Amino acid sequence: MRHNPSHHRRTPGRRLRAVAGAAAAGSLAAAGLVALAAGPATAATWSGSCSAGYVGLTFDDGPTAGNTTNLVSILTSNGATATVFPEGQNVQAHPDLLRAYQQAGLTIGNHTWDHPHMTQLSQSDMSSEISRTQSVIQQTIGSAPQLFRPPYGETSSTLKSVESQYGLREVIWDVDSQDWNGASASAIRSAAGRLTNGQVILMHDWPANTLSALPGIFSDLKSRNLCPGVVSASTGRAVAPSGSSGGGSTGGGGSTGGGSSSGCTVSLTKSGDWSDRFNVTASVSGSSAWTVTLNLGSGQSLQNSWNANVTSSGSTLTATPNGSGNSFGVTLYKNGNSNLPTASCNASGSGGSTGGGSTGGGGSSACTVSLTKANDWSDRFNVSATVSGSSSWTVKVTLGSGQSLQNSWNATVTSSGSTLTATPNGSGNTFGFTLYKNGNGNVPTATCS
């Protein structure tokens, strides 16, 4: 996604992309990387521990002749998965490169046909941008995307309603690598260093510096026990890849299971698998104040857990939020049984839009929120808010003079005068909003309770 206002004019953006593509091969050689021959590479296995969770690496605007093959080679040779958001017009021009994404096991989203400012289009033109892209991807690889990223991160309630007509989950980002803006490889690498479990980073399938940054990014993730994951179509958060990543829409069969009962749903995915034990990633949707019960199979026992409070009693595990969002994981000893356990979810508290639900057990007001400015345009800017200490929070944002709300994502946000009130909507503990500046570009203040 190119946010520089100069890219409102298409021609300079085209020239920039062409230059970046031509430079990619030379830059790779300079970095000492091996560019594999075209064709399906044999995927390596990610060699790091995933005990700290998963992050979503995303690459927009492809496929790009001269770049996509190198990107796919770097990802597969490192055993790394990723999510790509191609433009329909580029898919039409390079269907072979879309298939290269698919053969590498990447998740393929929709990034419109030709990268317009979607919020400036009529509803029918929005629909056309999305449907043409769904169709060309479906025709090329046999399945249609479930994820959609609007160009420039610009969205609106009208656009969201069009997305929902196509069953698409909107995915913005938590961290902007600024690779579209000429960031150096080391700056892109350090941006990725800010990723935490479940978060998504914006990168692109055309800058040479992005290719150069990837080996360092992988090295850093390994040292932090984070792994490249997939972006969940139900939560928009990065989660463990399933055993069968089709690269397309369905996610298919394989090692997934789950269940639901009241007010929330949990899905289980097998992630790491060793001879004596395996990892299970659980993603909860529908509530942020949940209790998940896992019924272990015969012989199985708990080794370890992360991102939730997990207790074990007999063959039952009980998990509740610990402030790390709505995805958590456990490691189970197999003792000869490698079947996924079954799970059910119960929401505590009212999951409604005004509620937030008390989790009980006290201390539910102990949370903190930090705001950072994400994207910045002449008339408005994005703010990313990260809550820690609780999954059942209410954040009050006090806008600066003149500022007003344009849009929000990953939380239920209401506006009254100069105060915004945000509560969880099941997308985890990071949310964002776009503010009109009206001459005031200061980041607002916020409190959490």
The answer to whether 356 touches 413, Cβ cutoff 8 Å, is no
The yes or no reply on residue 203 touching Zn ion (CB under 5 A) is no
Q: How far is CA 189 from CA 88, 363, 390, 439, in A?
A: 28, 37, 29, 33
* Strands (E) located in 237-366: 238-239, 256-260, 265-273, 277-285, 290-295, 301-306, 309-313, 316-320, 327-333, 342-347
The yes or no reply on residue 435 touching Zn ion (CB under 5 A) is no
Run of H or E residues at 57: strand 53-60
How many residues at the interface with Zn ion, by CB under 5 A?
4
Nearer to Zn ion, 154 or 258 (CB): 154
Distance of closest approach, residue 136 Cβ to Zn ion, in angstroms: 17
- The single-letter code of the amino acid at 80 is A
The yes or no reply on residue 230 touching Zn ion (CB under 5 A) is no
Residue of the chain from 88, 150, 151, 329 that contacts Zn ion (CB under 5 A):
151
Distance of closest approach, residue 439 Cβ to Zn ion, in angstroms: 28
Q: What is the C-alpha separation between 332 and 318, in angstroms, rounded? A: 14
Nearer to Zn ion, 179 or 251 (CB): 179
Spatial CA neighbour of 291 closest among 266, 313, 271, 269: 266
Distance of closest approach, residue 152 Cβ to Zn ion, in angstroms: 7
Q: What is the C-alpha separation between 186 and 184, in angstroms, rounded? A: 5
Residue of the chain from 56, 60, 78, 173 that contacts Zn ion (CB under 5 A):
60
The yes or no reply on residue 296 touching Zn ion (CB under 5 A) is no
Which part of the chain contacts Zn ion (CB under 5 A), choosing from 145-153, 185-193, 327-335, 350-358?
145-153
Residue of the chain from 1, 191, 202, 319 that contacts Zn ion (CB under 5 A):
1
Q: How far is CA 425 from the centre of its chain?
A: 16
Nearer to Zn ion, 151 or 325 (CB): 151
Distance of closest approach, residue 115 Cβ to Zn ion, in angstroms: 6
Spatial CA neighbour of 324 closest among 346, 304, 306, 342: 306
> β-strand 147-148 against 169-170: which pairing, if any?
parallel
The yes or no reply on residue 63 touching Zn ion (CB under 5 A) is no
Nearer to Zn ion, 60 or 129 (CB): 60
185-192 and 208-223 are packed helices; what angle lies between their axes, rounded to 10 degrees? 40
Nearer to Zn ion, 151 or 251 (CB): 151
Q: What is the C-alpha separation between 7 and 14, in angstroms, rounded? A: 9
The yes or no reply on residue 61 touching Zn ion (CB under 5 A) is yes
Nearer to Zn ion, 1 or 74 (CB): 1
Nearer to Zn ion, 86 or 241 (CB): 86
Which part of the chain contacts Zn ion (CB under 5 A), choosing from 15-23, 121-129, 148-156, 217-225?
148-156
Chain residues binding Zn ion by CB under 5 A are: 1, 60-61, 151
